[in-house]
């Protein structure tokens, strides 16, 4: 009977790090830095024409982010989305 030598068990943390996951502490720190940068105006944003929405989005929409617009049928999700897109395209500040 041969004994197979194996590497020391890295545990679940090693497997997650190999897949690109961060520890919860690092993820929270990164999130806090993003919020601070947003509050200080240090990130690229596309402001909307709705001040209340901009406030909730820390200034506006961010490139590379996915936003979900949800609601019951017939409440205006498509109309809102279309208006948002047309307003952003009219700003002509896409660099």
**2 part of a folded domain:** no
pLDDT of residue 71: 96
Rounded to whole angstroms, how far apart are CA atoms 85 and 82? 5
pLDDT at 38 over 90: no
Check if the beta carbon of residue 49 is closer than 8 Å to that of residue 85: no
User: The whole model's pTM is what?
Assistant: 0.55
Does 65 share its domain with 89? Answer: yes
Residues 54-58 have a mean pLDDT of: 88
**90 part of a folded domain:** yes
pLDDT at 95 over 60: no
Does 49 share its domain with 93? Answer: yes
Residues 31-39 have a mean pLDDT of: 81
Check if the beta carbon of residue 29 is closer than 8 Å to that of residue 44: no
């Amino acid at each position: 009977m041969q004994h197979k030598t194996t590497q020391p068990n890295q545990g679940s943390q090693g497997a997650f790090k190999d897949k690109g996951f961060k520890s919860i502490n690092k993820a929270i720190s990164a999130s806090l830095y993003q919020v601070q940068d947003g509050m200080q105006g240090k990130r690229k944003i596309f402001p909307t024409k709705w001040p209340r929405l901009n406030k909730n989005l820390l200034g506006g929409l961010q490139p590379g982010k996915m936003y979900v617009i949800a609601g019951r049928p017939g409440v205006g999700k498509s109309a809102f989305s279309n208006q948002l897109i047309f307003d952003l395209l009219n700003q002509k500040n896409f660099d």
